[in-house]
Amino acid sequence: MRNRMALFILLTLIFSFLQGSINNVPTSEAEAPEVTDWPEGSSAYDNLVTMTQFGYRKIDTTANENSRNWIAAQLESYGYQVERQSFTTDECSNCQNIVVTINGTLDDEWIVVGAHHDAICYSPPPLIGFTYPTCTSSGAYDDATGSGALLELARTFAQWDITPQHTWKLAWWDYEEWQGSGSSEGGGMGSLHFVEQQIPENTNVTYLNLDMFALNWPVEMPAALQLGCNEDYWTLYMFTSPVEDWSYYEERGLEVTPQMEANAVVLQSQLKEINHNLSHPTEWVSVVDDTKGNSDHYNFIMNGHSATWLRGQHQYILEEGDSCEQTPKHAQTDSVTTLNTMAGGRTNVESGLQTGLDVSSRRWLCGTAIVQQIVQMKL
């Protein structure tokens, strides 16, 4: 028993050393396995257009069910075994997450990439959350951009003959959207179901959330939309588990542990290194502490997992007085036409999608570089 324990400690130390020694390395393409098929913004764009054609994807609607069935069919055509995670809430009798698994060398270390497939329409601020019978939304920006991009990542990963270090879960969440001022509950129900019911005990998870991006660098902000704010580009924010300011989550009951803090430092460092290697300008592609929640990454952080949210444009107009905010979310104007207009054309939307796709796919290769080094040492 003592010898086994000594061997376990030795292997753990070696693995920890490897992991720590290359945290700033695997994002380099020199260290990454060679691949020829990279995710394409044009394909992600085609996916988001298809998502909008199902109609108003509100929970418990035919449009919602048809869109998730299409996602599942696409995944099956790529060769995945699709898991349908059905759940109910006070507001939803027929909700369903769509999930696929890519097994890695570690089954208790997961990377989850998620986007929500539902949509909502209600009144904007200052009277936020009032629903009315004629209010519908095709949910192009929120969140066909994320769902379409995630499908393109799934297609690409299926082409790569690579075993990642971590086990990967790609997930399309139902019921992310708050249902308005008359709702008996909040949003984020699909990811909450996954976090509480689908993650085994003692499993470490890192979560990447794709929700409302494409209107971000390198897309220039049209002069007509600047409204005096004088910014050159839309911004891609990576709202990530905090390094400095955990107050938002602590106020909601999270007991922050040293391990959570350490994981946040590692994740932010990895994202910054990825962006550096991709030559993304830090002014317009920014890794920052998440201090507001507001999407599915919240449930992961509140349950002790590290997470980041890739989100385009600007976020907190009411607090910051940011006149550049032009988000069409939760509105009838959230359409492909609006997205193209705000970006200056389809080609620019594709370029904005490409930025997020590049970050997400390079995150995959971080793990495979670790696997290669372990194999080389013949552990």
Q: What is the pLDDT of residues 304-335, one digit of tens each?
A: 999 999 999 864 444 455 556 667 889 899 99
pLDDT at residue 325 in the model: 62
Copy the structure tokens of residue 45.
């764009």
**Unique residue bearing structure tokens 């209600």:** 122
Give me the mean pLDDT over the 167-179 stretch. Answer: 97
pLDDT at residue 25 in the model: 35
Residue 19 φ/ψ, nearest 5 degrees: -60, -45
- Residue 97, pLDDT > 90, answer yes
pLDDT band at 34 (very low <50, low <70, confident <90, very high): low
In order of their start, the domains of the chain are 2-376 (3.40.630.10)
pLDDT at residue 229 in the model: 66
What whole-number distance in Å separates Cα of residue 237 and Cα of residue 234? 10
Q: Poorest-confidence range of 63-67, 73-77, 254-258, 372-376?
A: 372-376
For the chain, the first-to-last Cα distance in angstroms comes to: 20
Residue 120 DSSP SS3: coil
- Residue 276, pLDDT > 50, answer yes
pLDDT tens, position by position, 335-350: 999 999 989 999 999 9
pLDDT at residue 226 in the model: 63
What whole-number distance in Å separates Cα of residue 209 and Cα of residue 171? 10
pLDDT tens, position by position, 118-141: 999 998 777 889 998 899 999 999
Residue 307 φ/ψ, nearest 5 degrees: -155, 160
**Unique residue bearing structure tokens 């418990």:** 60
Query: For the chain, what percent of residues have pLDDT higher than 70?
Result: 82
**Under 8 Å CB-to-CB from 25, ≥6 apart: which residues?**
31, 369
pLDDT at residue 161 in the model: 76
Q: Poorest-confidence range of 100-114, 155-169, 191-205?
A: 155-169
Run of H or E residues at 159: helix 145-159
Give me the half-sphere count of Cα atoms (radius 13 Å) on the Cβ side of residue 175.
26
What whole-number distance in Å separates Cα of residue 344 and Cα of residue 2? 66
What whole-number distance in Å separates Cα of residue 222 and Cα of residue 154? 32
pLDDT at residue 23 in the model: 35
pLDDT band at 63 (very low <50, low <70, confident <90, very high): very high
CB burial of residue 293 (10 Å; 0-12, 13-18, 19+): middle
